Structure 1
């Protein structure tokens, strides 16, 4: 009997030890690092119209996204950002969705509210967060608010919701019938807060603020610095409101500026900013190879400027998005070593701090550029081919709203690349899942330059620790077209090998107690 009791006692002690052991897993009694870091994710940007068609009408839709969440999960994605899906001006050729006519409803071409709610629910079962594009700088000139404000100038309750330059002309930051809202009007601010709450109640966990740089520039004769300060305060007030509903909500802003010193103050009211400076560094130093010895030190300097404004800053790292020509169309990422450079750009994106953003099709090497008003047989086109149909290799879900043009469908398809172990798609899968499985890469914003950096090899140390659980990793990139060998002490080889191929990457776990031996 004593032996039986001893056995039960031993098992109970082992169970207790296991229950108290910190882990990156998500078991009942383990530390859930993802829950502790709700603003560190691997995002996938989706232009719904082009992603996947579920009903055969040629236009991508909510159900098309839902039916392909397994593809995104397999890719390593932990969150999705969907470009505008609110009700928009379908009669004005507004394919992009930024001419909002109803903030509380969805674009009927994409499906119904029930379809969207099902998508959010299915994403949640896969532990994927969902961020929406929130367009509050302006509304369409056909929005009921503006129509009433214009038609009933003396009596409309919405007259002061817009900025009037003349009695009949409202200010536009962006031409084309997009009228700026007057965000100094408290009624408008309260409406924006109501909109945020509405979508949080639907399950939205993050908001991407379009044109954050332009939110207050419509006030004539006002000092730009004053307007910038108002922007930061305004975003902070929205953030405070949203966190009352969801403490883990993400506020991400688009401030289109390549100088990091021009955007640092925005971290006062934002958790994350798309980092155009870092994107430009990747295009230049990975693509062109210019001044590569400064690559990591430049990025570290930029990141250090953000910290005083927000210690928990989470930069949005990207190399392509819907407002830019696709990276695979850049001259420096084409040619004999183009694929290798694209892989290195992906490796950098997926190993830097913050939240990396993969633009749909980027993982396939899709090309796409802007055209200045040419006719390709489907009417006049401008930026449509930056947002061309995703290349599934499966006609049953490929969208057809935009005909192929100038190689827009020339990248190998998903079906083809999944079968090729050396494909760009499988490289993205490997690096994204590596990041997801290693807290030293996935969480926190620690970044220090490796003390043995040269013009050929550029490396950085990443470190994360929470309640006794931590990991330190050393990432080294070969910035050249020739093989390089690395001689460095490490605990575990996580990715690659010590002989780095052209534009190759190695990721090593190192001893956290010896971190100072690796940094300057």
Structure 2
């Protein structure tokens, strides 16, 4: 090509002739200098891509099984300048197709993407049910589900990103330092699309939640408050209405693809292979290959195709998508859904590639198990027998959640009640880093904690206060602070994810202002606010040593200790006043020291005994100011 031809081709006149190119843009300055573009356009395989941009070179072009795809491997050298350039798709005797692509400068270095840790408290939100900030986006005519019905638990209710933005002060005042909204990406399904886990476009904010700029504004405003935005991502599956399901690039883009193609016009559970949900096959040294495959390759449900991460192009696509969102939205963490369902070697690579690029970042993975051995297996650095290293910093502590609930619901005896959580915490010896594990009283997939504890306010306070003083990262579901429940139909997902009162302009009760709340609800709100705001500044809770004493007479004590700060957590199931002998705890070194109740502010000197006047939690601290 002559100099004049190069000059002609490098002049930028923006054109966007190609239907889809993903990622939508990229950045210069990554450790990994490679980028793979997915290109989707009618018969694009007949064309040859050409790029003229200093520092950017095409390493390889891959054809797919479908003629409508190309996968282009790029190398972006350290000499590359940020800016736009044209990708020219050439074909003999046909006019060039041109698509303008942009490489951006990064807003901050990788090391400055700081994730969450044990000093944080995470507020989990189902956005459709939290607050409706913009009623104008409730119904989007071009999308498949076009109804809003707040009386239907499975319908969309209209909550959105602006609704979260409008109430950031409320969330911050409660003491939360991070927010985890369930997925906000487009779910263009025909029904029950509100929850967000059937993604149909991995690069688009669902317009019923807002737009990309709204999401970036949420992140910015949270950053200004010192808060972190955690993105809920899904690499295991997509929604059945994802755009690529109509034209799959490879014969193995999804698992059991041949069966899907054969039966897609009459698709239901009987046609697909639904996962066995036997997640222990990831660790079981005796597991059969068929059981392993049914677990990792089966579909989560019939409406959510299982993505095949063993396909190298799918693997690359997924990793790049996660990185794209970290950079685009300045994320403070990722929560990865159904962590143990995909190919586990891919999950190690996925997390490893992210953490290699962002060494101070955080990822929490969902592994729903009551077995601490399985939780330990998924945490990075665990000495697994099979040599597996997940690169995952933070598994979720479903085991502790279950024990907290069961112990509070049991009558106290030598082998039931508080002894259950005492023994559960003793399992921390199995964890590489217990303080990096995320613990919670409930979440969007299980009954509300107030329901699980049979409407007992004192037990609910004990559950929340206990997990907030553990060497863990606490996550609390929206509405727990006002005792939201699902008494009418325990376990019903739509009811668990009920509307937060006050999130809609015509609500008679407004939990954001306190209007219409009962005294009990207001008391719970104040309790969590005082607890979490104390926790924010407690180095003993964030980093301190943990000592607990065997429960006795319906009372269980746990201490967190760092230098001069000691936090004392007392759980008491006695309904009548009981005198607690403090001499048993002399090894803590509290004798004669002033302590303060962090909820009531009452101060006294630690002596030989105290009287616990009522059932519930007492949280004391030697930090008086």
TM-score bucket (shorter structure): 0.7 to 0.9
Residues 370 and 383, structure 1, Cα contact 8 Å, conserved in 2:
no
Alignment partner of 1:75 out of 147, 155, 174: 174
Using the TM superposition, give the Cα deviation of residue 431 of structure 1 relative to its aligned residue in structure 2, in angstroms: 1.0
- Equivalent in the alignment of 1:259: 371
Query: Is 1:160 the counterpart of 2:272 in the alignment?
Result: no
Using the TM superposition, give the Cα deviation of residue 509 of structure 1 relative to its aligned residue in structure 2, in angstroms: 4.1
Using the TM superposition, give the Cα deviation of residue 35 of structure 1 relative to its aligned residue in structure 2, in angstroms: 7.1
Aligned positions of 1:202-351 closer than 5 A: 202-216=329-343, 231=344, 233-268=345-380, 269=390, 270-290=392-412, 291-307=416-432, 311=433, 313-330=435-452, 332-334=453-455, 338-351=456-469
Change (3 A) 1:215 1:102: same
Out of 418-427 and 353-362, give the one that drifted further.
418-427
In 2, the alpha carbon distance for the partners of 1:97 and 1:350 equals 28
In 1, the alpha carbon distance for the partners of 2:315 and 2:246 equals 19
**Deviation string for 1:411-437 (max 9, x for gaps)?**
998434597796111111111112112
Alignment partner of 1:387 out of 475, 497, 504: 497
Residues 324 and 386, structure 1, Cα contact 8 Å, conserved in 2:
yes
Change (3 A) 1:445 1:254: farther
Using the TM superposition, give the Cα deviation of residue 42 of structure 1 relative to its aligned residue in structure 2, in angstroms: 0.2
- Equivalent in the alignment of 1:221: none
Change (3 A) 1:397 1:363: farther
- Equivalent in the alignment of 2:220: 121
**Deviation string for 1:32-71 (max 9, x for gaps)?**
xx97974541000000001011123551111110110000
Greater helix proportion:
1
Structure-2-length-normalised TM-score: 0.62
Alignment partner of 1:41 out of 120, 137, 142: 120
Aligned length: 425
In 2, the alpha carbon distance for the partners of 1:369 and 1:175 equals 27
RMSD (CA atoms): 3.1
Change (3 A) 1:420 1:505: closer
Query: Is 1:482 the counterpart of 2:576 in the alignment?
Result: yes
Using the TM superposition, give the Cα deviation of residue 180 of structure 1 relative to its aligned residue in structure 2, in angstroms: 0.6
- Equivalent in the alignment of 2:71: none
- Equivalent in the alignment of 1:20: none
- Equivalent in the alignment of 1:459: 557
- Equivalent in the alignment of 2:484: 366
In 2, the alpha carbon distance for the partners of 1:280 and 1:81 equals 21
Using the TM superposition, give the Cα deviation of residue 388 of structure 1 relative to its aligned residue in structure 2, in angstroms: 0.7
Change (3 A) 1:99 1:316: same
Residues 189 and 241, structure 2, Cα contact 8 Å, conserved in 1:
no
Query: Is 1:193 the counterpart of 2:193 in the alignment?
Result: no
Higher relative contact order (CA 8 A, sep 6+): 1
Using the TM superposition, give the Cα deviation of residue 395 of structure 1 relative to its aligned residue in structure 2, in angstroms: 4.6
Change (3 A) 1:132 1:292: same
- Equivalent in the alignment of 1:500: 612
Change (3 A) 1:289 1:248: farther
In 2, the alpha carbon distance for the partners of 1:286 and 1:463 equals 25
In 1, the alpha carbon distance for the partners of 2:425 and 2:546 equals 7
Change (3 A) 1:35 1:506: farther
Residues 546 and 561, structure 2, Cα contact 8 Å, conserved in 1:
yes
Aligned positions of 1:377-416 closer than 5 A: 383-392=493-502, 395-396=504-505, 414-416=514-516
Out of 350-359 and 109-118, give the one that drifted further.
350-359
In 2, the alpha carbon distance for the partners of 1:65 and 1:417 equals 20
Residues 210 and 253, structure 1, Cα contact 8 Å, conserved in 2:
yes
Structure-1-length-normalised TM-score: 0.74
- Equivalent in the alignment of 1:132: 231
- Equivalent in the alignment of 2:277: none
Q: Which runs of 5+ in 1 are unaligned?
A: 1-33, 150-156, 217-230, 373-380, 400-408, 512-520
Residues 354 and 445, structure 1, Cα contact 8 Å, conserved in 2:
no
Q: Which runs of 5+ in 2 are unaligned?
A: 1-112, 139-156, 263-271, 275-298, 381-389, 583-589, 603-609
- Equivalent in the alignment of 1:355: 473
Look at both structures and tell me which one has the larger radius of gyration over its CA atoms. Answer: 2
